[in-house]
Amino acid sequence: MLTQTDSRRRITLPPATGIKPGDTVEIEVLEDGRIMLIPVETVPRHQLWAWTVESKAAITRSLSDPRPSETVESTEEAANVAKRWAGED
């Protein structure tokens, strides 16, 4: 698809790109001059802890944990589950 920039160097992206008004994109200029637009989602600063290598590995391990899920409704129940699960890994 061929498009032209306007007087402010802007272009209009067709709807087929999936990029909507207000979306955030990273612009990467490759060595050969091509320009890549990469859609990104920003992460609030207070949630960055979840994106560390260690946290992502812990989340992956927890998702593959064969133990059944349990619902706890008090700190006492949580402590009992933690005691039972301690040393099972």
Does residue 24 lie in a domain region?
Answer: yes
Read off the pLDDT of residues 32-80 as tens digits, 9 standing for 90 and up.
999 999 999 888 999 988 889 999 898 898 888 887 887 899 999 999 8
How many domains in the chain?
1
Q: CA torsion angle for 35, 38, 43, 45 (degrees, to 10)? A: -10
Does residue 37 lie in a domain region?
Answer: yes
Does residue 25 lie in a domain region?
Answer: yes
Q: What's the DSSP call for residue 38?
A: E
Does residue 83 lie in a domain region?
Answer: no
pLDDT for residue 24 = 94
User: Whole domain around residue 32: which residue ranges?
Assistant: 20-45
